[in-house]
Structure 1
Amino acid sequence: MSLKKAYILVFLVLLVDQVSKIYIKTNFFINEEVRVFDWFRIHFIENEGMAWGAVIPGEYGKLFLTLFRIVAVGGIGWWLWDSVRKKQSSYLVTAIALILAGAVGNIIDSVFYGVIFNDSYHQVATLFSDDPYGTWFHGEVVDMLYFPFWEGNLPEWLPIWGGKHFSFFNAIFNVADMAISTGVGILIVFNKKAFGAPKNEEVLVED
C-alpha cells in the first residue's frame, strides 16, 4: 500500500469519527440512549481518561495523558512512513494507518472539545459555545457505540460471580476506538503476514 492510500484511509476514518462525535454531542445529552436493536444502542457518555474510563490521578493527570498521546501519535506516524518506505506488507500498513487514525481521533477530542463545546449534562451541547466546559488539552472523549449482546444473572454454581448480574459486552466506545482495535486485531490475527519479509529491498516512498 502506498503512503497516499494509507493517508486516505486515515482521513476517512477521522472524518467518520469526528462527524459521528459532533452529531452525538450536538443532539444528545449525557446518558441519553437510543435503542437501535436489543443488542445495539447509541448511548452517549464522555470518557475523561483512557480505555474503560480509567484516569490518571492528580491535577496534571489529564494533561499528561493528552501530551503522551500526541507523542505516541508522532511515533506511530513515523512507523507508518517507515513501513511504506520499506515496502512492508499491506496488512501491516493498513493496521498502522487504522491505529494512527484512531489515536488522532481521540486526541482531537482531548485537545479541542473542552474549548469548543459547552457541557452536555441535562442539555444538548452547542458547537463553538461562549461557555465552554473545559480548557485546551482537557477535553473529554465522546463515546456512543454500545453492544450489550447478552444481559442477565449468571448461574449460581459459578465461583465468585455466581448469581450476579452480568452484561456482555458492556463497554461503550467510538469509531476511533474501533479503528484502533481493528488495527491491533489485524496485527494479532495476521501476525505472520503483517510482519513477514518486505516485498523488495528498501525503496523510496510512493506518492
Structure 2
Amino acid sequence: MKYKHVIWIVVLVLAADQALKFWVKTHMTMDQEFMVIGNWFRIHFLENPGMAYGLEFGGNFGKILLTLFRLVAVILGFGLMKKLVRENYSNGLLVFGALILAGAAGNLIDSMFYGMIFTDSNYYQVAQFVPNGGGYGHFLHGRVVDMLYFHLYDDVLPNWVPFSGGKHFIFFAPIFNIADASISVGVIAILLFQKKLLHKKTAPMVTDGATVNTASEHTA
C-alpha cells in the first residue's frame, strides 16, 4: 500500500463524517431524533465539547487543551503513517491506522472550526451555516456533533440476571459519530490482531537469479 492510499482512506472517512455532521447540524434541532432501522438504530442530534462518546473534562481550559492535543496527534499521525508506509508495514496496519487518523481529524475539524461557522443549535431551530453575525464560539471552541445511536436494549432485565435483575437497563447508551466509530474500529482491530498487523511485509530478494523471500521483521 502506498501513502496516497492512506490519504484516500482518510479523505473518504472525513468526507462521510463531515457530510453527516453538516446535514444534522443544519437540518435537526437539539435532541431531535428519528428512527433509521426499527427502534435500535436512530439518528439523535447531540453536541459535546469534550472527547469521544460524549465524555468531557476540565471545562473551557480542558476543551482548548483537548483540541490542541488532537491537532498535535493528527500532525504526528500523518508523519507516522508515512514512516509505516516507507518501512513496508502490513496493509492491515496501514488501513486501521488510517481509520484512527481520519477519526481524530474529523473531530478536530469540529473542535477547531464549528464554533466559527455555525450558529448555536437549540431545541427550537436548526443552526445556520456561515451566519452574518458570526458563529456561537471562537477558534478552538467548537462542539463535536454526535448523532449515531444504537439503542440495542432498553427494558427491565429478567430477575435471574445477577446483581441487576429486575432493574431498568439500557445497553449501549452513548451517542457518537462516524469519526468516533472510525477510531474505535481502528484501535480495537489493532489490539485484537496485533500479532498479524505489527510486522513489516516480507520483501523479495534476488540471489543468483532466483527470487527468495526474506523473513518478516516483527516489532516488539
TM surpasses 0.5: yes
Aligned-residue CA RMSD (Å): 1.6
CA separation of 1:48/1:161 partners in 2, compared to 1, >3 Å: closer, same or farther? Answer: farther
Counterpart residue number, 1:127: 129
Counterpart residue number, 2:71: 70
Measure the CA separation in 2 of the matches of 1:149 and 1:137. Answer: 34
TM-score, length-scaled by structure 1: 0.91
TM-score, length-scaled by structure 2: 0.86
Measure the CA separation in 2 of the matches of 1:4 and 1:131. Answer: 36
Q: 2:145 aligns with which of 119, 142, 152?
A: 142
Measure the CA separation in 1 of the matches of 2:176 and 2:54. Answer: 10
Counterpart residue number, 2:154: 151
Q: Deviations over 1:13-58 (max 9, x none)?
A: 1011111100000000110001112111110000110123222224
Counterpart secondary structure, 2:47 = strand
Counterpart secondary structure, 1:80 = helix
Counterpart residue number, 2:198: 195
Identity among equivalent pairs (%):
48
- In the TM superposition, what are the counterparts of 1:113-124 in structure 2 within 5 Å? 113-121=114-122, 122-124=124-126
- The offset of 1:72, in angstroms, is 1.2
**Partners of 2:54 and 2:174 within 8 A in 1:** no
**Partners of 1:16 and 1:175 within 8 A in 2:** yes
- In the TM superposition, what are the counterparts of 1:30-109 in structure 2 within 5 Å? 30-37=30-37, 38-109=39-110
**Partners of 1:63 and 1:138 within 8 A in 2:** yes
Task: Return the index of the structure with the highest Cα Rg.
Answer: 2
Measure the CA separation in 2 of the matches of 1:19 and 1:52. Answer: 19
- The offset of 1:95, in angstroms, is 0.8
Q: Deviations over 1:47-78 (max 9, x none)?
A: 11012322222441110110011111122212
Report the count of equivalent residues. Answer: 201
Counterpart residue number, 1:20: 20
- The offset of 1:189, in angstroms, is 2.7
| Relative contact order higher in (CA < 8 Å, ≥ 6 apart) | 1
Q: Deviations over 1:95-151 (max 9, x none)?
A: 111100000000000000001001110210000012411111010000111111111
CA separation of 1:21/1:59 partners in 2, compared to 1, >3 Å: closer, same or farther? Answer: closer
- The offset of 1:158, in angstroms, is 4.3
